[in-house]
Chains A and B, each alone.
Chain A
Amino acid sequence: MLRIPCPWCGLRDESEFRYRGDATRRRPAAEAGIDAFNAYVYERDNPRDWHSEWWLHVAGCRRLLKVVRHTLTHEIRSVEPGADPQGAERSR
């Protein structure tokens, strides 16, 4: 079981969080087309390595965290709050 150090709540069990997938993916621009969105929604690497991923602290502060975890050892290298300034471009 993972234990994730939430910057707001402290060290918490994995069961308080919901996994929200690969954090390196960026939502394509509105007119990027089906292929770009298809890649965004369906195509994922399966690295045996460090992996940057979203965890939503649903049973805690409800903040989204960007967690860098090693998929083999489960070691967690960093946890950051996950506001994504680039994504703001999209909704203009």
Chain B
Amino acid sequence: MAGPRRITSGALTDPSRPLRFRFDGRELQGLTGDTLASALLANGVRQVARSFKYHRPRGIVTAGPEEPCALVDVIGTRGREPNLPATTLPLAEGLIAESQNRWPSLRFDLRAVADLLGRFLPAGFYYKTFMRPGWAWERLYEPLIRRAAGLGRLAAVVPPHADPAETVHEHADVLIVGAGSCGLAAAHRLAAAGLRVILAEQDVVPGGGTLLDGRWAAWREAVCASLMRSPTLRCLTRTTVLGAYGHGVFGALERLSPQECAKFGGLRERLRVIRARRVLLATGALERLIAFPGNDVPGVMLAGGALAYLKRYGIAVGRRPALFANNDEAYEALFALAAAGVPCAGVIDPRPDSRAAARARALGVAVHGAALVGAVRGRREVQAVTITELDGRRRFVLQADSLLMSGGQTPLTALATQLAAPLEWRESLTAFVAELAPAAGRIAGGARGVFGLAAAARDGDEAACAIATDLGRAADTAAAPLLPNDPEMSLASALWEVRAPGKAFIDLQNDVTGDDVRLACREGYEHLEHMKRYTTFGMATDQGRIGGLVGCAVLAAARGVPLAEIGALRARPFTQAVPFAALAGGEVREHYRPRRRLPLHEWHESAGAAFVSTGLWLRPLVYSREAGWSAVLDEARAVRKRVGITDVSTLGKIDVQGTDAARFLDFVYANRFATLPIGRARYGIMLREDGMLLDDGTTSRLGPGHFLITTTTANSTAVLEHLEFHLQTACAALDVVLTDVTDQWAQFAVAGPRAREVVAPLVGGLDLANEAFPFMAVSEPPIAGAPGRLFRISFSGELAYEIAVPAAHALTVWSALLESGARFDIRPYGLDALNTLRIEKGHVTTAELNGNTTADDLGLQRLLKNEGDFIGRTLARRPGLNDAQRLQLVGVRPVSRTARLRNGSQLVAPEAPDTSLGYVTSATPSVEFEGWVGLALLAGGRQRLGQRLTARSPVHRETVEVQILASHMLDAENTRVRS
């Protein structure tokens, strides 16, 4: 018999609570506390995956989130979730998991032929091979390659209700990342100093390396017990710090335990945004692989992983394991397995001798010093390893059913580098290390190359003292529990790659070998980040973490430069794969963004309105739930023939007051406001400093130093920001105060030939006769008993009044207007009808005020004042912005009265149908004219009035002959609005 099995009880597993689960259809049993990986090993399962490119059999390599190979699909009640590392997936009753990237089965995978063809499929092969014919890449090659290569499958249909997730904001004095000996010692010190501490640990329990060494149990329990009593410390387990975002902001992902998930109604993840004054990075170091031929055969795994499976889950990963390591720490796995009754087949160590080797020999283990593993025999599982002596004199075969490898420890510096800490090469450690700026925090323990549990704990304690002092707290001198001694260790010797025939992987997840790196280098991809992209080294879910530095070293050797010169791969957030659902948290569906509701929202709803989102606002689109234009046109027709009423409360409203208000408006508007009399409104346009139109609207003068600006709904916040910016910079000396009163005032437009008769009875006796209250007049009469404002302005092109009242009076006044209008059959109209009316009239909205148009483009050049400075004045005069061939606003109308005009159609000359001369910006069926009408931006448009062009919509495969008209299609003389 060979292979893994459970031989003893583990620290985390509970033998009295077995769990059933399925893997690739097989019914298996594990224990509460197992991960899927440990449960599979307990059942003797070694091969759990096929590799990304070559479809080679793969097993479990690590015992943590850095796992490159053992990724599985989990099939739950809500569908299939791919690419979950079995090494961190908690086993649960009834769990169903499937292996990935194999067909038809894991054991017999037809695509494994890729492995035999391996030498024809080097790095970048598809860039070079699948060049011709050009069309075939998208239609043939890419779909084939995507099917053959890859990881898990996404569910074809994503269920509408994903598992819930939530976001929590945290504040602390100190965030400690990692609860190993270093983090625990630091937490103990900082909590004693009375600081608010968050201790984040990705594992299910705190302890880190102390969980794997029985001598540390008493220390760990004493420290954890003391931390539990601290009122200012919180220990968050199952919580991975994903990224450092500067200024003390960190993102962390908590994966809830199955028990907590059940308790919180299926909540799976909690994203924690942590704001801390200082951080202590105690993330430790990660064991790295060695690149040698066959280092991917199921049964080859990291030595530290084997130790973790034994101590945590009671599992022996083999019955006759061999060890291939260049460092003394790795021997701990061998000693622990030996103590549990699993004899070691032998040790292969490139160092001639070491303290650990002497200890192993004393246990009767054969240690082959100054030797390397040259090959692994076996394809689906390790059967034997071939040993080569360093001087090349002797080769022999060692029978073993598993091989534990260790290329040394790489300090985890990802979070530090995200905080702009430079990496520095430390030859004595064969590793890069970083130091943080003290204002950000400290790095301690294995994360900065201080190895050994006791040494790391002492380092964490020192760093904690420094942080406490930094934050103005006396570091408490209370004695911490006594630390066990670290064993004496011999130095490791650098070992990255064994050059021998066969595939030696530096990145197991992406099937990248040392040969791929040398090929990339030969082909000119010498820079580390180029090599990464050419070979896919260090990408995907594990980010190549256990082989990262090995790849850098292979590249250094290929280029013949020191590793220090190559550097390390840039580690961006996130440190591990994060489900989108966790990032979205509660901000999904109706909570995706805030909703702004009109004061009359309920009225509109009860009147049967269909709503549309414009920005954050919900506005009535049409008072009908039926599709089609008929209800819209009925509403628009009511305005043209009788009278209609619409809710325009979403317009931005900015109150401008101060002795210099008029001067300020003259600076921010392109037209003049100082001459505007009290009680009058004026249409105004604002430019950006680059001369383009920013926004338009009417501004009313309510007093000598009191104006009210209205902005378009879409631009209201941008305009306020624009005004604030200029008021606090270029106009800082002016006496002006800006107040956003958008939400305070509800505003309605009453429009149509009968509008005067509807409004007149409600305005406290104000004379609305044309001479007394002409077009553009403004007054502040009581309206239906409420304090109000009355503006005679029109967007529809009809006689119209806009009525503003404090939002609390909205329903009273709206109802009074409806009642007053009942005898004319007044109709509420929505945004669609409003749009129909304004297109006919040639009024612009954000479809035309699109950021690329000038005043001249929209026919508004006469508004630009000649005297005095204003924003955009100088650059609006640039020759290019006044070119006669620019896109200019025109009206368009299909020659055929039955033809539909579409937004976005391109205008072309019949003789040059592929040369766009412009496009339709707004289109609508008309109530004033027969058929459709629209507005368009057309090159040299004002010189083309009367021409016939073609409106093409290739998307709809439609071609419509259109006539070009002046944009004011309706009532160009403005007789209606002045009537």
- List residues of chain A with CB under 8 Å of any chain B CB: 1-3, 13, 18, 20, 27-28, 30, 32-34, 36-38, 40-42, 54, 56, 58, 62-64, 72-76, 82-85, 87-88, 90-91
Contacts and interface: CB of A to CB of B under 8 A. Distances in A.
B248 interface: yes
Contact of B729 (A30, A32, A33, A84): A84
A56 B725 contact: yes
Contact of A1 (B247, B721, B725, B729): B247
Nearest to A25: B729
Contacts of B869: 30, 90-91
B860 interface: no
A22 to B, nearest CB: 12
Nearest to A27: B730
Contacts of B731: 87-88, 90-91
Given A64-B728, A84-B728, A91 B663 contact: yes
A62 B724 contact: yes
B725 A85 contact: no
B689 A41 contact: yes
Contact of A41 (B249, B873, B875): B875
16 contacts: A13-B249, A27-B689, A34-B875, A34-B877, A56-B728, A63-B728, A64-B725, A64-B728, A73-B437, A74-B247, A75-B439, A82-B729, A84-B729, A88-B732, A91-B733, A91-B869
A89 B437 CA distance: 43
B420 interface: yes
B878 interface: yes
B436 to A, nearest CB: 11
B50 interface: no
Interface string B436-456: 010100000000000000000
A84 B875 contact: no
Nearest to B725: A20
B690 interface: yes
Interface string B694-736: 0000000000000000000000010001001100111111100
A88 B734 contact: yes
A34 B730 CA distance: 18
B875 A37 contact: yes
Contacts of A72: 420
Tell me what chain A mostly uses at the interface: helix, strand, loop, or mixed. Answer: mixed
Contact of A91 (B245, B420, B689, B734): B734
Nearest to A84: B729
Contact of A83 (B275, B717, B732, B875): B732
Which applies to chain B's interface (DSSP): helix, strand, loop or mixed? loop
A13 B169 CA distance: 12
Interface residues of B, number: 31
Nearest to B869: A30
A74 B878 CA distance: 37
Interface in B242-281: 245-249, 275
B332 to A, nearest CB: 40
Contacts of B878: 34
Contacts of B437: 73
* Shortest Cβ-Cβ A-B pairs, 5 listed: A88-B733, A30-B869, A87-B730, A64-B728, A83-B732
B730 to A, nearest CB: 4
A87 B664 CA distance: 13
Contact of A58 (B245, B717, B733): B717
A85 B690 CA distance: 23
Nearest to B248: A3
A67 to B, nearest CB: 12
B9 interface: no
A90 B869 CA distance: 8
Contacts of A13: 249
B667 interface: yes
Contacts of A62: 724
Contact of B874 (A3, A34, A54, A90): A34
Nearest to B419: A73
Nearest to B879: A34
A17 B454 CA distance: 46
Contact of A33 (B246, B248, B725, B874): B874
Given A58-B721, A74-B247, A38 B667 contact: no
A85 B877 contact: no
A84 B730 contact: yes
B246 A2 contact: yes
A27 B729 CA distance: 9
Contacts of A54: 725, 729
A20 B878 CA distance: 24
Nearest to A87: B730
Contacts of B730: 27, 84, 87-88, 90-91
A54 B725 CA distance: 9
Contacts of B874: 28, 30, 32-34, 36-37
A73 B420 contact: yes
B718 to A, nearest CB: 9
Given A54-B725, A88-B734, 19 more contacts: A1-B245, A1-B246, A27-B729, A30-B868, A37-B874, A41-B690, A54-B729, A56-B721, A58-B717, A58-B724, A64-B725, A64-B729, A73-B437, A76-B247, A84-B728, A84-B729, A84-B730, A88-B732, A91-B667
Contacts of B868: 30
A85 B663 CA distance: 17
B78 to A, nearest CB: 31
Q: Which of B275, B420, B663, B874 has the most CB of A within 10 A?
A: B874
Interface in B803-850: none
A70 to B, nearest CB: 9
A88 B877 CA distance: 24
Interface in B354-375: none
Nearest to B246: A74
Nearest to B273: A1
A30 B867 CA distance: 11
Contacts of B732: 83-85, 87-88
A73 B868 CA distance: 43
Given A58-B717, A58-B721, A72-B420, A3 B729 contact: no
A1 B878 CA distance: 39
A16 B378 CA distance: 60
Contacts of A85: 732-733
Nearest to B666: A91
A56 B733 CA distance: 18
A44 to B, nearest CB: 14
Contacts of A33: 874
Interface string B234-245: 000000000001
Contacts of A28: 874
B728 A37 contact: no
A75 B246 CA distance: 9
B734 A3 contact: no
Interface string B162-184: 00000000000000000000000
B898 to A, nearest CB: 48
A36 B877 CA distance: 13
B866 to A, nearest CB: 13
Interface string B850-879: 000000000000000000110001110110
Given A64-B728, A84-B730, A3 B875 contact: no
B742 to A, nearest CB: 14
Contacts of B725: 20, 54, 56, 64
A19 B588 CA distance: 27
B249 A1 contact: yes
A83 B689 contact: no
B689 A18 contact: no
B616 to A, nearest CB: 14
A29 B774 CA distance: 39
Nearest to A32: B874
Contacts of B873: 30
A1 B245 CA distance: 5
Contacts of B721: 18, 20, 56, 58
A56 B724 contact: yes
Contacts of A73: 246, 420, 437
A83 B728 contact: yes
